[in-house]
Amino acid sequence: MNLYSNIIYKPDTIRVLFQLKFKVDDALNLLRATMPTISSEEVSFWYERFNKENFDISQDLYEEKEMPSLNMLPVVLKRKITDEVNIEDQDALVRVNKGFRTYLRADRRVFNLVRICLDENEAVLCKVYKDTKEEKIIITTRDGGCIVDKNGETTTYENSMIDQVLIEFRETIKKRGTKIADVTVKFNSEMQGGDKMFFKGVCDVFSELKEPLHVEKLDLRTIETNKMNSILRNIKIGALNSLTYEAIDVHTIDMRDLNNLDDHVPFLRTLAILSLSFKNVPLSNFAHISCIYLKAVISQQELSDYKNKLINSSIGPYHTLETTLTTEEIKEAFRPYETISPGINQFEGSFRHSLLDKKINFTTTDGLVLLRFF
Question: How would you write the pLDDT of the chain (374 residues) with one tens digit per residue?
Answer: 344 444 456 888 888 888 888 999 999 888 888 888 788 888 888 888 888 888 887 655 555 555 556 666 666 676 777 777 888 887 777 776 666 666 666 566 889 999 999 988 899 999 998 877 899 999 999 988 999 999 889 999 999 999 999 999 999 999 888 999 999 998 875 555 566 788 889 999 999 999 999 999 999 987 667 778 889 999 999 999 999 998 777 788 899 988 999 999 999 999 999 888 899 999 999 999 999 999 999 999 999 999 999 999 988 899 999 999 999 999 999 999 999 888 778 899 999 998 888 899 999 998 899 999 77
CA 85 to CA 90: how far, in whole Å?
6
Q: What is the pTM of this model?
A: 0.76
CA 34 to CA 246: how far, in whole Å?
67
Query: Taking the CA atoms of the chain, what radius of gyration do you get in angstroms?
Result: 30
Summarize pLDDT for 148-188 with one digit per residue, the tens: 999 889 999 999 999 999 999 999 999 888 999 999 998 87
